Amino acid sequence: MNYRVRWRKAAKRQLADVWIRASDRAGVTAASDSVDPILGRNPHAQGESRSGSRRIWIVEPLVFFYDIDDANRTVTVVAVSELPG
């Protein structure tokens, strides 16, 4: 089950903003680095479903929102935020 993982520009900007403000930049980096390989293998096995093809997945200290397009075998990360805490 290989999927191509893409990131919207807005999601990349959000990740950069979170990283800049983070007290644990290594944790943010580790969480973000894990996303592509895991979602590329099996995006349906991660997180929880939302409306339509949208899913939410928590990889502490981050929250990822992504869409799955099974027909094109593509995952698009649409938003990233810091886990409220």
**Domain containing residue 8: CATH number:** 3.30.2310.20
- Quote the CA–CA distance of 41 and 84 in Å, as a whole number: 27
Mean pLDDT of the chain: 95
Range of the domain at 26: 4-82
69 pLDDT more than 90 = yes
Which tokens in the block code for residue 83? 């886990």
Q: Is the pTM of this model over 0.85?
A: yes
Q: Is the dihedral of CA 49, 4, 38, 15 positive or negative?
A: negative
1 pLDDT more than 70 = no
- Nearest CA among 75, 82, 84 for reference residue 32: 82
| pLDDT value, residue 14 | 98
> What are the residues whose beta carbons fall under 8 Å from the beta carbon of 22, sequence distance 6 or more?
28, 61, 82
pLDDT band at 37 (very low <50, low <70, confident <90, very high): very high
Number of domains in the chain: 1
